Structure 1
Amino acid sequence: MSRSEIARRPDVDRATVAKYADMDDMTPKPPMDRRQGSKIDPYAALVDGWLEADRRPPRKQRHTAKRVHDRLRAETEYDGEYTTTPGYVRRWREANRRGSDGYGELVWAPGVAQIDFGVAKARIAGELVDDHCLVVTFPHSNMRYVTSLPGENAECLCHGLVEVFEHIGGVPPVIVMDNATGAGRRNARGEVTPAAVLDVFDIKKSLSHKGNPYDNAVVESTNRPLKKELVYRNHYTTIEQLRHDLNDYVWWSDNQRLHSTLGYRSPKEFTEQGLVL
């Protein structure tokens, strides 16, 4: 078919026909990078100096991307958008990461539990009262249990733990906790004096403290949404109604919530497949 015959077809321009007829290779070419230099480039040495100096202070005193952007706007003639700054800071930190800046993933052994008390303001029978939620989590399986108690002393801790142990049908060999009064405390010499309740169950104690790699992050991350999104937002007629809502949350979290760390299975499904708490 000649070029003229092709061009006579509807919606085909003669110039387009000529262009493709003369092409030897019709493989699509990758798009060209048309980006010009970033507005932050003239200030790169200055920002690099700030970030390099950040290696010395504690992590919480270092520059955030927002702080870098604010300093550039205040101390220089930089007029770029904020969205440019985080990208530059991220690329610098990735390129200049030291071996000591890395971290190891914290692996929790099966059966190890974390416990934590959280005080939430609860509206019960029209009154705003303190509700002490004892949260017990098993980081290996993400199973969790919650009970509402009137206080945080040793008696309340004992009652709450017995309730949880009866529910799971056993006692965890190790419990990681903070320095709550009911669980134990440190004396002036830094020695731990555990509560007698832990000795009764022959539980190994692991109190959270500086230098201890096992912190309470998992259980504390459970406590926060319970206090802010469940207990405080709702109105209850009785403490039993509050406990019922807490139990409903625990059932949903253990039976329906899927976790990527468990292969997108629920904690219940994870344990039923022969894997332990």
Structure 2
Amino acid sequence: MPQMSKVELYAAIRRDHRAGVAMRELERKYNVGWRTVRKALDSAWPEPRKPLPPRPSALDPYKAVIDGILRADLDAPRKQRHTVTRIFHRLIEEHGADVSYPMVRRYVADRKPQIAVEAGKAPIEAFVPQTHPPGMEAEVDFGDVAVRLAGELVTCYLFSFRLSYSGKAVHWVFASAGQEAFFEGHVHALRVLGGVPRGRARYDNLKAAVAQVLGLSRARVETDRWIAFRSHFGIESFYCRPGVDGAHEKGGVEGRIGYFRRNHFTPVPEVSSLAELNEMVEQWDLHDGRRRIGSRPRTIDEYFEIERPLLLPLPGEPFETGRVFTPRVDRYSQFTVRTNRYSVPVRLIGKRVRVVLHASHLVVYDQNVEVARHERLIAKAGCRLELDHYLEALIRKPGAFPGATALEQARSAGKFTPVHDVWWAQARKVHGERDGTRALIEVLLLARHIPHEHLVAGLATALRAGALTADAVALEARKAAQAEDEPPLTALSAGTSGSATVTFLHEWRLAHLPPDTRPLPSVTPYDQLLRRRRASGGAHREEEAQ
């Protein structure tokens, strides 16, 4: 007979008994005692097994001591309560207990919440299911993510804006979680969603929005810029309770960030820039729109199609999300914003400039004219310099060029290429240290009018031809630009030999002048003046003779 479970055994005994099989025959058939047959006839469900008595443990004599420590911790300052490690050490030092750390850890994990409930310190909190009307509510939060950015492992911040009804979420990664990133994340999310929720949006007590939390109530003192931002877009804010206790009040976005981190940031993504990473984030958002949440019958995008028409329209005018600073430029042609230093052209030394700080970059203005633009530094106390900003000073002080910090940063960024270095070395051999460096600086000044790739091509051609002047480089760079614009056959027919040739600037200008179709000049009309002069001269001599 195949092995049966106890439920199957009871069912078979009851079936045979209803068919008229005697109890003794049932005992022999199923090889059980009369008590088992009696229990099967009394109930279709077997009795549950009695729990085994707890096994004695080496911790038993000390459980009362641990309970006393945990009860005393209920009234102790939060930062001076016992950890499991401290309890373990006290048991060994003060009581001579022969117990293991995992044994103490398991007991404390089970007993600590029980003692809190017994003392009335941790009332059981009930969670009430909520229904979210379409187009009414949203949840917003930041989450930390690790990214390998340009080969370096850094911590970035994932902004998430999630509609409560459909679960449609929009994400964006920023270098910081400041107010600029908070605003730009909203602008991006609302633009992608195509509208603004009609009801309220749930937030943590972020410093970007909340200046002060007023006790345990829901009242908050909001920052002025956040009030203006909310007013511009028509967002109604709702703030959760501070700390861990309020996390469940926006559990949708909390879980969404966790899902996004586990599924898209594992393993750690390796990118060269945040722009590249955010392109990937946009694709992940599109992909996630096709999934179902839990047991819902439709996808996120299908629910969002219901919700989209119910959103409020976006305002017609943009909102300036950047934060404005007015620092003064020091004698190093630098200014400081948020502990980091950035360069501007040397002509602005001593002046105040207007800096608009965004989440990923900053723009510098001098009397409403943009004079510089930098990628924002992630670390603190950093320095970002642009070599072009110092060229006017370096052409007067060429000796400062080799050790310039801006030169090293230009090399690291790939703007000052090995071709520049070789051309510079040859120019110093021919013209001398000072004049060769000045010639290179004149070449770098050409970058303000000639694209970088064309200028490098001009440098390479001039170097092969031994033409170590800025005029020659400018001419070859323009020829490279023209060759790029010409059709391929024309460029090939122009003749490309192994040795480079350089056309001097005055020859190139003459060759590119339009053809002169005018007739050659003639002095014939002036002969009439000569005849008239001869005639008048003869008459004058006759008068003198008379």
TM-score (normalised: structure 1): 0.63
Question: For the residues of structure 2 that align with 1:138 and 1:187, how far apart are their CA atoms?
Answer: 25
Equivalent residue in structure 2 for 1:201, among 229, 233, 240:
233
Note the C-alpha offset of 1:37: 2.5
Match of 1:134 in 2: 159
Question: For the residues of structure 2 that align with 1:116 and 1:76, how far apart are their CA atoms?
Answer: 48
- Is 1:115 aligned with 2:137? no
Equivalent residue in structure 2 for 1:41, among 53, 60, 65:
60
Question: For the residues of structure 1 that align with 2:299 and 2:78, how far apart are their CA atoms?
Answer: 34
Question: For the residues of structure 1 that align with 2:163 and 2:78, how far apart are their CA atoms?
Answer: 29
Cα distance change, pair 242–273 in 1 and its aligned pair in 2 (3 A): closer
Match of 2:114 in 1: 94
Match of 2:276 in 1: 241
- The answer to whether the 8 A contact 1:255-1:266 is kept is no
Read off the aligned partner of 2:186 and give its amino acid letter. L
- The answer to whether the 8 A contact 2:158-2:174 is kept is yes
Question: For the residues of structure 1 that align with 2:149 and 2:274, how far apart are their CA atoms?
Answer: 7
- The answer to whether the 8 A contact 1:125-1:238 is kept is yes
Read off the aligned partner of 2:265 and give its amino acid letter. L
Equivalent residue in structure 1 for 2:91, among 61, 72, 79:
72
Match of 1:268 in 2: 300
Equivalent residue in structure 1 for 2:203, among 153, 173, 177:
177
Note the C-alpha offset of 1:198: 0.8
Read off the aligned partner of 2:70 and give its amino acid letter. L
SS at match of 1:78: coil
Number of residue pairs the alignment of both structures matches: 254
Task: Spell out the pairing of 1:137-176 with structure 2 (5 A cutoff).
Answer: 137-138=162-163, 143-149=168-174, 156-172=181-197, 173-176=199-202
Cα distance change, pair 49–136 in 1 and its aligned pair in 2 (3 A): same
SS at match of 2:117: coil
Larger radius of gyration: 2
Question: Percent same amino acid at aligned positions?
Answer: 23
- The answer to whether the 8 A contact 1:138-1:144 is kept is yes
Match of 1:14 in 2: none
Note the C-alpha offset of 1:42: 1.3
Question: For the residues of structure 2 that align with 1:104 and 1:22, how far apart are their CA atoms?
Answer: 48
Q: Which moved more, 1:61-70 or 1:193-202?
A: 61-70
- Is 1:191 aligned with 2:216? no
- Is 1:52 aligned with 2:71? yes
Match of 2:103 in 1: 84
- Is 1:105 aligned with 2:137? no
- Is 1:250 aligned with 2:285? yes
Question: For the residues of structure 2 that align with 1:95 and 1:157, how far apart are their CA atoms?
Answer: 42
Deviations 1:120-145 (A, max 9, x none): 66445557777553222346765432
Cα distance change, pair 66–115 in 1 and its aligned pair in 2 (3 A): same
Question: For the residues of structure 2 that align with 1:37 and 1:97, how far apart are their CA atoms?
Answer: 26
SS at match of 1:136: strand
Cα distance change, pair 38–124 in 1 and its aligned pair in 2 (3 A): closer
Cα distance change, pair 49–32 in 1 and its aligned pair in 2 (3 A): closer
Q: Which moved more, 1:51-60 or 1:90-99?
A: 90-99
Read off the aligned partner of 1:43 and give its amino acid letter. Y
Question: For the residues of structure 2 that align with 1:147 and 1:156, how far apart are their CA atoms?
Answer: 9
Note the C-alpha offset of 1:82: 3.8
CA RMSD, 1 decimal: 4.9
Cα distance change, pair 22–126 in 1 and its aligned pair in 2 (3 A): closer
Q: Which moved more, 1:179-188 or 1:192-201?
A: 179-188
Question: For the residues of structure 1 that align with 2:205 and 2:112, how far apart are their CA atoms?
Answer: 39
Note the C-alpha offset of 1:240: 3.8
Question: For the residues of structure 1 that align with 2:213 and 2:78, how far apart are their CA atoms?
Answer: 30
Cα distance change, pair 107–169 in 1 and its aligned pair in 2 (3 A): farther
Q: Which has the higher contact order (CA 8 A, sep 6+)?
A: 1
- The answer to whether the 8 A contact 1:136-1:146 is kept is yes
Deviations 1:189-208 (A, max 9, x none): x7323421111122122345
SS at match of 1:191: strand
Question: For the residues of structure 1 that align with 2:86 and 2:305, how far apart are their CA atoms?
Answer: 48
Read off the aligned partner of 2:222 and give its amino acid letter. V
Deviations 1:219-266 (A, max 9, x none): 466557749x729932224544311322344345554475xxx44878
Unaligned runs of at least 5 residues, structure 2: 1-30, 38-45, 215-219, 312-546
- The answer to whether the 8 A contact 1:141-1:271 is kept is yes
Q: Which moved more, 1:196-205 or 1:93-102?
A: 93-102
Question: For the residues of structure 2 that align with 1:95 and 1:204, how far apart are their CA atoms?
Answer: 41
TM-score (normalised: structure 2): 0.36
Read off the aligned partner of 1:105 and give its amino acid letter. F
